[in-house]
Structure 1
Amino acid sequence: MIRYGIVGCGHIAKKHVEAIQATVDAELIAICDRDNNRLSRWLADGVRGYTDVETMLQESPVDVVCICTPSGTHAALTIQVAQAGRHVIVEKPMALSLADADRMIDVCREQGVNLAVVHPNRFRPAMEVLKKRVNEGAFGTFSHANATVRWNRDQAYFDQDPWRGTKEMDGGVLMNQAIHNLDLLIWMMGEVEEVSSYQATRLRDIEVEDVMVSVLRFRSGALGVIEAAVTLYPKNLEETLSLFGETGTAVVGGPTANWIQSWQFADLSQEEATETIQQITKNPYGKPGHQCLIEDMTTAIKMGRPPMITGEDGRRVLALVNACQQAAATGQPVRLDESIGGIKR
């Protein structure tokens, strides 16, 4: 059995608990949170509770630690866990700065432990078939792509926890809400070369932006548009990823990007396209993405291989977010160099 621990008992911890419980050869044996009330909700037979990470690492024989704390704490906790010789699964974003991300990657490499970043939307059935079409070259030459997140996060959402909406711990709409969609964008389209952006804090009383629009040029020459907002009234409207090429058009959307809305390729008949759409519609969610990540880490440890979504993957999308934010703050385009998405002016 691969033994798991969880740090942070907020909203996202439930998905990790369920994923570990559903995974063969995985066992939850420890949970840590400074708040005893939150901690007590997750304690069960065989699961020991801790109020500080150091004690958990000293006393519990966990093999993997899932970090489910506010974004601004991810780097320090990942480094602490890795230095104790444990593998790490860290929630998105892996960090708020590239310097922190680099340190996390370096320490995990030095300690010989795996670092996986939680980008579970790659395992959505629609995204898996979309990635297959990209790999097959079904789009021909890409012309452009759009990543759109039009959601609602009202003031009560930001007020429920003091870290939400702060520069130090939250990071803004791209960092906290849209980053999964952006991960999918560059997973499909490849590296970004240059970005220009506008950002604003229009409706929420927070330190960071609640709406941002960016224009991209990919290293391939294709163009892209990002639109992300938490200002939609009265509820979430859509999360959409759209890819356009010389021989293919695909749009995956809905309130969350789980449903194929357009599926047109030169090498597919209308009947074949309709069949794919119907197959996805029957089961748009598939196996929970967090379960896929836990299963993958469990197998990776047993086989001595890296996880499917690595620290470098997490860094790549973080670099894009940082570049968008820098471009908006300076009013100037920002170029990304070729060292895994590092930013340069």
Structure 2
Amino acid sequence: MKQLNFSAIGTGGIFKTIQFMINKNKRAKLACVVDINEESAKKWGEKLNVPHCCSTDEFYEEHCEDIDAVYVATPHFTHTAMLDDAIDNNINVFIEKPLTTNLEDAVRIVNKAEKAGVKIGVDFQNRYNPQAVNMARAAQEGYLGKIMYGTVNIPWKRTQKYYDVAWRSKWDTAGGGTLITHAIHMIDILIWALGNPISVTGKFATRKHEIEVEDVGMGIIEFESGAIAQVLSSAANDPGAGTHLSIFGEKGNVIFGGSILSQTRWQRIKRKRYPLNIKGLPLHYYKIVDAFISYVMDNKPFNATGRDALPITAVIEAIYKSSRTGKEVKIDTSIF
């Protein structure tokens, strides 16, 4: 069986989970690790018994010949350069969110990748969470009836220590605060369920932490279907609470969330299931990695492509713009 050879760029945080999922998949292997932190690169290279290097220049010059895809888990502000480098070297990309920190770069990257025949996947793992899949598919096919509105509520607690990782606290390096870092996953599922957004009104503020970016953000989104949705994301709550995404239709409602996003409540309608048909570990991260492998190797449909990330990027950017200008922001759906 042919395997998809990955190189990881960035070995902190979520990398530990994704490298495990790659190496647990019989159709893939992690063949190289890259990190500007020499100690971390060496540690993981030795642990996984693979080559390691401390710069992407070194990787592309010396180690990329047999690599099919890079997994990118680096700070937000580096994503555009990481994507450009991979596309220029004709290597597919599986990248942590956000795709990029602004819509202009995101559109350019997606168009460039498609023209080059390079596939981009974004780690929106809830698109392979069975509970989220059931809710989104039910809304898409009209099982809930005409959608009236949706809500996203993310009342999280983040300490100052969380933002003392310097790049997270600044606009230039993070691209934003709780909206682009935390709410992005639920905005993703909301858009997946309800379709293209056409206008946004938003407000953000910094209420608690010593940071440039927002720790409270709100948005009202209008969709082509006529549905509207409210988004609230906070990193300033104490105590924090669980995330919830709710969709209210004329025939019934679905409430998705919980502390580990593993619960849905179906109101006035019977629960409906849409099997993913992915074998292996019953974990969202495993499923999205496996689906990305199939996307690259077998050209099978993938739920979280670079193009799928465009409306998400557009909405978050529009919330920021609306807050700064005090005006509603229209979204050009032709770029999606």
What is the match of residue 50 of structure 1?
A: 53
TM superposition shift of 1:340: 3.6
Aligned sequence identity (%): 28
- Shift, 1:304, TM fit: 3.5
Residues 129-168 of structure 1 correspond to what in structure 2 (within 5 A)? Answer: 129-159=134-164, 161-168=165-172
Structure 1 position 40 matched with structure 2 position 47? no
Residue type of the alignment partner of 1:113:
V
The residue aligned with 2:110 is 105
2:262 is aligned with 1:258: yes
How far is 1:69 from its partner?
0.2
SS of 2:173 mapped into structure 1: coil
Q: 1:251 to 1:189 in 2, by over 3 A?
A: same
For 2:23 and 2:7, the matched residues in 1 are separated by: 12
Aligned to 2:317: 322
Normalised by the length of structure 1, the TM-score is 0.89
1:94 aligns with 2:99: yes
Shift of 1:109: 1.9
Partner of 1:237: 241
Q: CA deviation at 1:306?
A: 5.9
Amino acid of the structure 1 residue aligned with 2:132: M
Give the unaligned 5+ runs of structure 1.
Answer: 277-285
Paired residue for 1:84? 89
CA distance in 2, matches of 1:45, 1:130: 38
CA deviation digits over 1:174-227, x for unaligned, max 9? 111110010000001111111111110000111111001111221111111000
Could you say which residue in structure 1 is the equivalent of 2:277? none
Distance 1:301 1:315, change over 3 A: same
Are 1:248 and 2:252 an aligned pair?
A: yes
| Amino acid paired to 1:51 | C
**Cα pair 1:240 1:256 within 8 Å, conserved:** no
Partner secondary structure for residue 178 of structure 1: helix
Residue 337 of structure 1 deviates from its aligned partner by 1.7
Retained in 2: the 8 A contact 1:139–1:265?
no
User: Secondary structure, in 3 states, of the residue corresponding to 1:294?
Assistant: helix
Counterpart residue type for residue 205 of structure 1: E
1:298 equivalent in alignment to 2:303: no
Letter aligned with residue 131 of structure 2: A
Q: Deviations for 1:314-343, whole angstroms, at most 9, x for unmatched residues?
A: 1110001001111011111111122245xx
Answer yes or no: is the 8 Å Cα contact 1:250–1:264 preserved in 2. Answer: yes
Counterpart contact for 1:244–1:250, Cα < 8 Å: yes
Amino acid in the other structure paired with 1:32: V
TM-score, normalising length: structure 2: 0.91
For structure 2, the 5+ residue unaligned runs are 274-280
SS at match of 1:138: coil
Q: Is the 8 A contact 1:90 1:116 kept in 2?
A: yes
For 2:131, what is the secondary structure of its paired residue? Answer: helix
- Which SS does the other structure have where 2:168 is aligned? coil
Distance in 2, matches of 1:126 and 1:45, equals 33
Count residues in correspondence. Answer: 323
Alpha-carbon shift at residue 135 of structure 1 (Å): 3.5
Closer, same or farther in 2 for the Cα pair 1:90/1:321, shift >3 Å?
Answer: same
Give 1:295 shift.
Answer: 1.1
Superposition RMSD in Å: 1.7
**Cα contact 2:139–2:147 (8 A) shared by 1:** no
